[in-house]
Amino acid sequence: MKKIIILSLILLLSFGLAAQSKSKKKKTKKPVPAAPVEVALPDRCSDCFFPVTLQVDVPFGPTEPLRGYGYVNEIKRDAQTKNVFESEHNSIWYFLEIPYDGKLLIDIKPKSFSDDYDFIVYKYTDKYFCNRVEKNRVKPIRSVQSVVNTEIQGKTGLSLKSNVAHIAKESSEAYGKYIDVKAGESYVIVVDNLNSSGLGHTITCEVWTNSSPLVINPIDSLMQQRTTANLHVKELETGRVVIDKQNAGSTKIKLLPERTYEISLTKEGFFNYTRKISHAQAIGKDTILSARLVQIKAGSPLPINGDLYFDNNESGELFLMQECYPALKDVVQALTQYPQINVNIIGRIMTEGLNVKKDNEVSKARAEAIKKYLVSQGIAESRITTRGSSIKELEAQIKEQSRSRNKTLNPPCEIRIANKK
């Protein structure tokens, strides 16, 4: 009888422990995405003399919370100066220079939907601007002081849809009318949060114009996947730097009418990438530029950025046409930057199979013409070997053409890394 009782107690105890272990098991929670890091605000940015400089199309924020109006409360409403705050509460001053003609749009996104953000836009005049503002001698060209609209997450700004230049406190309209701006003009934006315990915000300024978007995707050509690289884009007609960003991933820029842009990508261990593209090439659609970055290793092809054309001189010698020199700019730069690299130039040619021996000779002459140009640019002749398309390669090319419904192939010449010293 005692054995039965002891056995029953053991069974009950084991069931109890099993139930406890089940109850202690917790469901694994999915990782919560990290919140964006707040941008620390510089000292005195709540005062007119120390504004934060904004860049068109580059969001600023999310900022840390605004606290107070700084050392000087520059804005105070009086009978002569309308469309300004009654007083600054928790403010920040921004400075924006306009890079090209268009319509200025502003988007202010609070971190907290309940924060009541107002703002004023002034056209900057000269070094006495802040003194004039403090004395109410400068009139704002735009102001939005409406009540917070939680239906649109408390956002406010300037848009293409609004026709109202100044929006009063009693209104529920969150966006004012855009500003027609010219290249070289400067504007001052004062943002004020009426909530003393509120959170920060993100501000984005855009100059809308008849532009075409371009998405730049750096691609690792070996791994066949996206990567990051140092990105520099310059507008050739004006010299304006559109973007200069380290470790940039997929990046969207604007191409303006009648403008051409030079896009440069650099990455350690890869050859430099350069490409020119105009508004006319991208107009009417979202253009995606897949910038293929080539690793510096044996067998890798050096980037030739354009077509290569050849002609014969009076003595019958084949030469590379001068208008093709820019296509080899990156090759020259890479060989200059990496003197330990030797290369093999492979001449290619379009063939119909009538005389493959002659095609082989012409393709070899093309490779020699490219070599001659590289040597003229200071690359040692000893670092360069050449060859033409072999008979076997030409025959394979002819077979491929027959499979392609007799479409004649015109393969480009190649410059490949042979080895490293």
Question: What's the CATH number for 310-420?
Answer: 3.30.1330.60
Strand partners, 198: none
pLDDT (0 to 100) of residue 30: 54
**In the chain, where does the domain assigned CATH 2.60.40.1120 lie?**
212-293
Token code pair at residue 134: 């403090």
Segments in 156-268 forming alpha helices (H): none
**In the chain, where does the domain assigned CATH 3.30.1330.60 lie?**
310-420
Strand, coil or helix: 74: coil
pLDDT (0 to 100) of residue 31: 55
Phi, then psi, of 175 in degrees rounded to 5: -120, 135
- Cα 248 vs. chain centroid, distance in angstroms? 6
**In the chain, where does the domain assigned CATH 2.60.120.1050 lie?**
52-208
pLDDT (0 to 100) of residue 300: 83
Lowest mean pLDDT among 26-40, 271-285, 291-305: 26-40
**How confident is the model over 121-145, as pLDDT tens digits?**
999 999 999 999 999 899 999 999 9
Q: Is the dihedral of CA 58, 64, 69, 72 positive or negative?
A: negative
% of residues, the chain, pLDDT over 70? 88
Look at residue 32 and tell me whether its pLDDT is greater than 60. Answer: no
Look at residue 64 and tell me whether its pLDDT is greater than 50. Answer: yes
pLDDT (0 to 100) of residue 13: 47
Look at residue 17 and tell me whether its pLDDT is greater than 50. Answer: no
Lowest mean pLDDT among 37-46, 174-183, 299-308, 332-341: 299-308
Q: How far apart are CA 136 and CA 67, in angstroms?
A: 23
Burial class (CB in 10 A: 0-12, 13-18, 19+), 120: buried
Average pLDDT over residues 369-397: 91
Neighbours of 181 (CB within 10 A): 22
For domain 212-293, say whether CATH 2.60.40.1120 is its number.
yes
Question: Could you tell me if residue 230 is left (phi over 0), alpha (psi between -120 and 50 degrees) or otherwise beta?
Answer: beta
**How confident is the model over 95-115, as pLDDT tens digits?**
999 998 999 999 999 999 999
One-letter amino acid identity for 272? N
Q: Residue 153: pLDDT band by 50, 70, 90 thresholds?
A: very high
Q: How far apart are CA 94 and CA 159, in angstroms?
A: 18
**How confident is the model over 172-229, as pLDDT tens digits?**
899 999 999 999 999 999 999 999 999 999 999 999 998 888 999 999 887 789 999 9
Helices 356-376 and 391-403 cross at an angle (nearest 10°) of: 110
- Cβ atoms 191, 108 nearer than 8 A: yes
**How confident is the model over 310-359, as pLDDT tens digits?**
999 888 899 999 999 999 988 998 899 889 899 999 999 887 767 888 88
Q: How far apart are CA 40 and CA 37, in angstroms?
A: 9
Look at residue 307 and tell me whether its pLDDT is greater than 70. Answer: yes
Range list of β-strands (E), 249-333: 251-255, 260-266, 273-278, 287-293, 310-312, 318-320
Q: How far apart are CA 377 and CA 417, in angstroms?
A: 18
Antiparallel, parallel or unpaired: β 201-208 and 102-110: antiparallel
Token code pair at residue 292: 């293929």
Q: How far apart are CA 68 and CA 89, in angstroms?
A: 6
Token code pair at residue 96: 């924006």
Look at residue 33 and tell me whether its pLDDT is greater than 70. Answer: no
Average pLDDT over residues 81-96: 92
CA distances from 347 to 157, 332, 368, 399, 413 (A): 58, 17, 8, 19, 5
- Cβ atoms 138, 125 nearer than 8 A: yes
- Cβ atoms 160, 208 nearer than 8 A: yes
pLDDT (0 to 100) of residue 404: 66
Q: How far apart are CA 155 and CA 175, in angstroms?
A: 8
Q: How far apart are CA 37 and CA 35, in angstroms?
A: 6
Average pLDDT over residues 14-41: 58
Question: How many residues can be counted in the chain?
Answer: 421
Look at residue 20 and tell me whether its pLDDT is greater than 70. Answer: no
Q: With CA atoms as reference, report the closest residue to 311 among 321, 301, 322, 297.
A: 321
**H-helix or E-strand spanning residue 386:** strand 384-387
Right CATH for 52-208 from 2.60.120.1050, 3.40.50.1220, 2.120.10.30, 3.40.50.300: 2.60.120.1050
